[in-house]
Amino acid sequence: MCLTHEFGHLLGGWLGGGKVQSAWLGPWPPPYSTFQPDPHPALTLWAGPLFGCVAPALLAGLIRRRWAWFLADFCLLANGCYLAVSWLTDDRLLDAPRLLAAGVSPVWIGLFCLAACGVGYVRFRAACRAVWAGPSPA
């Protein structure tokens, strides 16, 4: 989840004409990227959760395996929860407060969180049940 999310920020920043100042995609500390200048910060910021949801789903559609959908559904839920929690914590270094600072309407952030968390929860719960149920009898 973190890798596809952060890769989305890198892709969005690059597409928006930003210049990468620093980036880290390793497991610890958590992945991050900074752009200076960043002509379109809203694009850079939205690209993270959007790519973090769409890329795993596209990959799962290509692979067509239960474990791939399990991961894609987790990424959907995790990206929605991350944006919601970052909004609630109001930590200026996290995505939702930065989106608000970039002029994004709280309505769009809220709609994304509701959709990603709602659909992600239902799909991930079903994926968990399927994985833990084991293989279906022949």
DSSP string, 98-117: HHHHTT--HHHHHHHHHHHH
Instruction: Say how far apart CA 25 and CA 53 lie, in whole Å.
Output: 17
20 and 33 Cβ atoms separated by less than 8 Å: yes
Note whether residue 138 is domain-resident: no
85 in a structural domain: yes
pTM of the model: 0.90
Tally of domains within the chain: 1
What is the reported pLDDT for 137? 63
User: Residue 23 sits in which domain range?
Assistant: 2-133
The pLDDT assigned to 78 comes to: 97
Quick check: is 39 in a domain? yes
Residue 10 lies in a domain: yes
Q: What pLDDT, on a 0 to 100 scale, did the predictor assign at position 132? A: 82
**Range list of β-strands (E), 61-101:** none
- pLDDT of amino acid 138: 57
Residues of the chain with pLDDT under 50: none
Q: What is the pLDDT of residue 30?
A: 84
List the end-to-end C-alpha distance of the chain, in Å, as a whole number: 33
